[in-house]
Structure 1
Amino acid sequence: PPHHDIYSIEDLAQLIHDLKNVQPEARISVKLVSEVGVGTVAAGVSKSKADHLTISGYEGGTGASPLTSLTHAGSPWEIGLAETQQTLLLNDLRSRIAVQVDGGLRTGRDVAIGALLGADEFGFATAPLIAAGCIMMRKCHLNTCPVGVATQDPVLRKRFTGTPEHVINYFFFVAEELRQIMAEMGFRTVEEMVGRVDKLDMRRVRRHWKAHGVDLKRILHEVPLKEGQLPRHTEAQDHGLGAAMDVELIEACKPAIESGQAVQISRSIRNVNRTVGAMLSGRIAEAYGHDGLPQDTIRIDLTGVAGQSFGAWLAHGVTMSLTGDANDYVGKGLSGGRIVVKPPQDVSRDPTDNIIVGNTVLYGGIAGEAYFAGVAGERFAVRNSGAVAVVEGTGDHALEYMTGGVVCVLGKTGRNVAAGMSGGIAYVYDPDGKFTQLVNHAQVDILDVKPGDGEGAEKSWGTPQQRAVSVENPGMGDPLYHDAERLKVLVERHHLHTGSARAKALLDDWANQLKNFRKVMPRDYAKALKALEDERESAAMEAAE
């Protein structure tokens, strides 16, 4: 499926920057399909400051892939690798990125050819699997693998006969063949071989008519090297992490990270400050894991305009409050923290008519809270999997591919709301009754929000709370019931954190305004919740007996 936060090479560069911030020690890799033009894309990936690049040939592929994709998509890895190597050398980009090749590598000879064509690293998958016992039944996704390799079925797993020694043995044979080839060619190390395309030649096949038109000159083309230039990876990318605002924030938050002391920080921010909060969250995760710090241990108050990916992967225990506005990707991968964005108090504009955060907000959020006293751009809460959010309006495609969490929209939305939404719930303020026309109804139902807990609420496993209980429990209660109570809690939280005039007006007239809200509920999600409820009830009855 497409990555819904990447529409250009600049978006890819931003994602690489985000990932590098949250874990500076990680190598960020981009995988490209071997096809015509892959060299140009590879040059863009190198300029985007990826540390690693994989060129994947058409002969590999998971057993879960459709056979048509395996046999009719992509091209041989040799073609893609040669084009990538030549393009990177011509643009003086080869030295700063490691190139890996995969897609049907089987032998030491494959590794030798890959190295000579320009690969630093080599990926094996199918061949080691076969060494471990795979018989390529192409059932990897069905849980019915007859030899127990790709299955969770305990009966089938007993059939697995592979051992680590089988795989080790296979790689010993590959390495031995490679050593023989290297000895014949006069190379002492693989590093010496990388990019030495001058050591490759064509062997003419005179007897076969298909070989008469084959010309490998372009694949075997040798790019003239500048003085001192090497055809392999020799230097690290400069990600500019030393200039990140988080370096200063981490130093200021050391008492909280090291001993759990409460810390409050105030700073100004500019749009050149990207991915603020991610590096800090990475250090908290290293120390405390996903649970993070206790709620509100770190509070960071910022004023100004935030750059892209503000609050990305924000960890539990960190509250970032921005007075101003922010660009795209706010709260990307939100992981338990709280994000607040609100306009300055002296601004007279109506927040419900003005954009305060950009596109693709809360992309892939898994936990935490977000409150925006203004309108969000397009694709709000796309692939949200667990975050709780309140916003005062959205652009097109809100709630797209959402799988969990709770979203409340206190204003107008764009079109195509809830396209592909399979989980989570949402509430939308709809005083003019036009919201239903803007919804993609393929997977969701639109329900009225009524007073009370709802029919069958005595089966509920929990009621909404004013505060999140933990990183795993945002305090929203059983999503099948308590709609009116949950909605009021959301609006109250929003007013508490942002001072929203819209939230205050709704709360002051709550008894009359409640009927103007609509609930967005995915149909299959509701069925799954009902099934879980029945299981809980059955288990309780068995325990009582």
Structure 2
Amino acid sequence: FKTGAMSYGSISKEAHETLAIAMNRIGGKSNTGEGGEDPERYVPEPNGDSKNSAIKQVASGRFGVTSNYLVNARELQIKMAQGAKPGEGGQLPGAKVYPPIAKVRHSTPGVGLISPPPHHDIYSIEDLAELIHDLKNSNTQARISVKLVAEVGVGTIAAGVAKAKADVVLISGHDGGTGASPQTSIKHAGIPWELGLAETHQTLLLNDLRSRIVVETDGQLKTGRDVVIAALLGAEEFGFATAPLVSLGCIMMRVCHLNTCPVGVATQNPELRKNFTGDPAHAVNFMRFIAEEAREIMASLGFRSIEEMVGRTDVLESTRAVDHWKTKGLDLSAILYQPDVPETVGRHQQIPQDHGLAQALDITTLLPLCAPALERGEPVRETLPIRNINRVTGTILGSEVTRRYGAAGLPEDTIRLTFRGSAGQSFGAFLPPGITLALEGDANDYVGKGLSGGKLIVSPPAGSTFVPSENIIIGNVALYGATGGEAYFGGVAGERFCVRNSGAIAVAEGVGDHGCEYMTGGRAVILGQTGRNFAAGMSGGIAYVLDVDGDFPRRCNTQMADLEALDDLSEREEVRQMIRRHAEYTGSRRALDVLERWDEVAAKFVKVLPRDYKRMLQAIRRVEESGLSGEEALLAAFEENAKDVSRVGGG
């Protein structure tokens, strides 16, 4: 049994933690949702309870996805879509982004957050396989699951998910979904889990893939009878969300998106949260009753285990309730169809997926090499060759640092590895503090994905004759979802550079289209041309673009951001220091030229500053000048900003 993916932000801290405690007590799994999780919850309570959610979700927004978050999971779930609103992204209004939520999501209080509709590192089934591989490297002990929505053709997609080496596939029905989703989506998108589940199970059987993957379903499961029917249609695991929330006091007011939930379940308002009366025992009792009812029905059918029941549609029949004149044209035989496959074809998961970790460069070379740093914190320096078949380099090493030393990692540059050659995809993904990876050569897509405090340097090989500032040195979607650290690229980056960056400092000598898309934090310095649609959806952080030709405004999306001159002297110095470090690390001729002519060139920098972010920074500055500091200042600024926004919006 599992609870559904509801983020901290969509529901209150109390509701989120109560569900986690309840599921940990009974050996089930709770799900973080896509909003990250407070690291304090990873430590068990004195009484033995744990608030740590076993399933950590990785959605398109990558909120709160750090190395520490990934290492503390038993299952990592890639959210491809949501039952209530398939094909849509998520949105958390600025009024719900209270300071504690912003901290967990590595964003700015009071600034609305957008989850893009697609994952920007998934445009094909091969890309999904890459993300599954990346996450398995980030936590070798966790299962990797993929959440799909029940729809026509979902079976074919599930077969692709199984081939992409996922351990679990979740089929989510259209009935589920938080009340915070748009009403049109809740009522009119997706199909019932029964249809999606039956199609998935049958397709996996026909392709002899069913034995390699666990199938799970959710979407308004409420009774033991629902569980048994789901098992007979092909599921081994079952998710509940609405019903456990009701057991904790939810009264289905359907105002989840308004921050006005009167019982403290789906609100961040401190006064309303005091009304929360839920207790872990309530959810535990609910789950026990579900299990007992399921056991009784199983006994009446003669089954001893869930595995025996999986796919046994022969014991299901359509009831008289369906025998109605309105349903005369319905043919349910497709749901109950039993594929004609040999006895040797497994009908439930029996064979573990081979994720190919034994051949990873981290396992064969980096972990033994860095043992002195891991065990005793001693510095390690080494130069190694790398080829494009070496994917996700440094991630298993980084996860081991995080597992041993927590989010703080090791002191800067404790491990410094220099690679020569062409790096494969996801070079330096989820790298924690204390590790520096330098690459003399070039790198494929997804460099520094989820960077968590580490340092990345990519520079052209010694003796190269091309002009770095005119040539691509790293692929697309670099620093996707980065939460901290530094990255210096001595050449041009591909498309969607710094997409959803929320804390890393990055310098590149040019970028492709859609640079700094959906960025919510951090700093980016671009010492050259940008592609079109720069700063689309950018709601935080600051980008500094060197606009020598004066045509950057035409290529920048100013829907959410303003363009300003770099006039502030302290800010100019901050940018100069970033460029100085870039020159020092990469030997960039372009950076050295900018530094030599700094007084002349500084005037050509354009500062890209999101409007919501600017308003919040000004509010923080005002309350700090009044004598407040730290979290008090953030909360006061958040409340002041919320009043300003409601006044402007007529709220």
Give the TM-score of the pair, scaled to structure 1. 0.92
3-state SS, counterpart of residue 335 of structure 2: coil
Distance apart, 1:239 and its partner CA: 0.4
Distance apart, 1:446 and its partner CA: 1.4
Q: Deviations over 1:473-527 (max 9, x none)?
A: xxxxxxxxx2210121011001100000111111122222222221111122111
Look up the match of 1:414: 531
Q: Deviations over 1:166-199 (max 9, x none)?
A: 2232223222221221111111111211111222
Look up the match of 2:250: 134
Look up the match of 1:386: 503
Which of these residues, 222, 237, 241, is aligned with residue 125 of structure 1? 241
3-state SS, counterpart of residue 404 of structure 1: strand
Name the stretch that deviates more: 320-329 or 242-251.
242-251
CA contact (8 A) 2:427 2:447 kept: yes
Q: Take 1:45 and 1:120, find their aligned partners in 2: how far apart are those partners?
A: 17
Do structure 1's residue 439 and structure 2's residue 527 form an aligned pair?
A: no
CA contact (8 A) 2:448 2:456 kept: yes
3-state SS, counterpart of residue 355 of structure 2: coil
Alignment of 1:166-245 (within 5 A): 166-205=282-321, 208-245=324-361
Distance apart, 1:109 and its partner CA: 1.0
Q: Which has the larger radius of gyration?
A: 1
Q: Deviations over 1:6-48 (max 9, x none)?
A: 1111111111111100101111111111110000111111111
In structure 1, give the amino acid aligned to 2:340. Answer: P
Do structure 1's residue 87 and structure 2's residue 203 form an aligned pair?
A: yes
3-state SS, counterpart of residue 426 of structure 1: strand
Name the stretch that deviates more: 324-333 or 1-10.
1-10
Q: Take 2:562 and 2:176, find their aligned partners in 1: how far apart are those partners?
A: 42
Q: Take 2:122 and 2:514, find their aligned partners in 1: how far apart are those partners?
A: 15
Distance apart, 1:139 and its partner CA: 2.2
Look up the match of 1:525: 613
3-state SS, counterpart of residue 267 of structure 2: coil
Counterparts in 2 of 1:107 and 1:487: CA distance versus 1, 3 Å: same
CA contact (8 A) 1:425 1:519 kept: yes
Q: Take 1:322 and 1:188, find their aligned partners in 2: how far apart are those partners?
A: 56
Do structure 1's residue 535 and structure 2's residue 595 form an aligned pair?
A: no
Q: Take 1:100 and 1:533, find their aligned partners in 2: how far apart are those partners?
A: 49
Q: Take 1:386 and 1:432, find their aligned partners in 2: how far apart are those partners?
A: 29
In structure 2, give the amino acid aligned to 1:212. Answer: K
Which of these residues, 395, 419, 437, is aligned with residue 302 of structure 1? 419
Distance apart, 1:205 and its partner CA: 4.7
Which of these residues, 399, 412, 424, is aligned with residue 282 of structure 1? 399
Q: Deviations over 1:377-414 (max 9, x none)?
A: 10001111010111011111101111111111111111
Q: Take 2:520 and 2:165, find their aligned partners in 1: how far apart are those partners?
A: 31
3-state SS, counterpart of residue 401 of structure 2: helix
Distance apart, 1:206 and its partner CA: 7.6
Look up the match of 1:249: 366
Q: Take 2:323 and 2:546, find their aligned partners in 1: how far apart are those partners?
A: 75
In structure 1, give the amino acid aligned to 2:445. Answer: D
In structure 2, give the amino acid aligned to 1:490. Answer: M
Counterparts in 2 of 1:399 and 1:154: CA distance versus 1, 3 Å: closer
In structure 1, give the amino acid aligned to 2:411. Answer: P
In structure 1, give the amino acid aligned to 2:361. Answer: M
Look up the match of 1:272: 389
Which of these residues, 568, 574, 588, is aligned with residue 500 of structure 1? 588
Distance apart, 1:136 and its partner CA: 0.5
Do structure 1's residue 490 and structure 2's residue 578 form an aligned pair?
A: yes
Distance apart, 1:151 and its partner CA: 2.8
- Number of matched pairs: 513
Which of these residues, 427, 430, 447, is aligned with residue 330 of structure 1? 447
Distance apart, 1:540 and its partner CA: 5.8
Which of these residues, 171, 174, 182, is aligned with residue 55 of structure 1? 171
Alignment of 1:352-501 (within 5 A): 352-450=469-567, 453=569, 482-501=570-589
CA contact (8 A) 1:491 1:503 kept: yes
Name the stretch that deviates more: 493-502 or 144-153.
144-153
Which of these residues, 399, 410, 413, is aligned with residue 293 of structure 1? 410
3-state SS, counterpart of residue 406 of structure 2: helix
Q: Take 1:263 and 1:185, find their aligned partners in 2: how far apart are those partners?
A: 62
Look up the match of 2:92: none
CA contact (8 A) 1:205 1:211 kept: no
In structure 2, give the amino acid aligned to 1:395. Answer: G
Q: Take 2:583 and 2:597, find their aligned partners in 1: how far apart are those partners?
A: 14
Q: Using CA pairs under 8 Å that are at least 6 residues apart, name the structure with larger relative contact order, 1 or 2.
A: 2
In structure 2, give the amino acid aligned to 1:183. Answer: A
Distance apart, 1:268 and its partner CA: 0.4
CA contact (8 A) 1:411 1:430 kept: yes
Name the stretch that deviates more: 16-25 or 196-205.
196-205
CA contact (8 A) 2:122 2:128 kept: yes
Task: Please identify runs of 4+ aligned residues in structure 1 that moved more than 4 A.
Answer: 204-207
Name the stretch that deviates more: 412-421 or 131-140.
131-140
Distance apart, 1:428 and its partner CA: 1.1
Counterparts in 2 of 1:361 and 1:206: CA distance versus 1, 3 Å: closer
Q: Take 2:557 and 2:283, find their aligned partners in 1: how far apart are those partners?
A: 49
CA contact (8 A) 2:208 2:346 kept: no
Q: Take 2:321 and 2:240, find their aligned partners in 1: how far apart are those partners?
A: 29
Q: Take 1:140 and 1:154, find their aligned partners in 2: how far apart are those partners?
A: 15
CA contact (8 A) 1:377 1:395 kept: yes
3-state SS, counterpart of residue 282 of structure 2: helix
Counterparts in 2 of 1:211 and 1:538: CA distance versus 1, 3 Å: same
Distance apart, 1:152 and its partner CA: 3.5
Distance apart, 1:225 and its partner CA: 2.9
Counterparts in 2 of 1:272 and 1:207: CA distance versus 1, 3 Å: closer
3-state SS, counterpart of residue 257 of structure 2: coil
In structure 2, give the amino acid aligned to 1:29. Answer: S
Q: Deviations over 1:70-127 (max 9, x none)?
A: 1111111110000000111111111111110110111111111110110010111111
In structure 2, give the amino acid aligned to 1:173. Answer: F
Do structure 1's residue 100 and structure 2's residue 200 form an aligned pair?
A: no
Look up the match of 1:153: 269
- Any unmatched runs of 5+ in structure 2? 1-88, 90-116, 633-651
In structure 2, give the amino acid aligned to 1:512. Answer: E
Which of these residues, 367, 377, 386, is aligned with residue 260 of structure 1? 377
Report the identity percentage: 59
CA contact (8 A) 2:433 2:454 kept: yes
CA contact (8 A) 1:372 1:392 kept: yes
Q: Take 2:463 and 2:282, find their aligned partners in 1: how far apart are those partners?
A: 71
3-state SS, counterpart of residue 6 of structure 1: coil
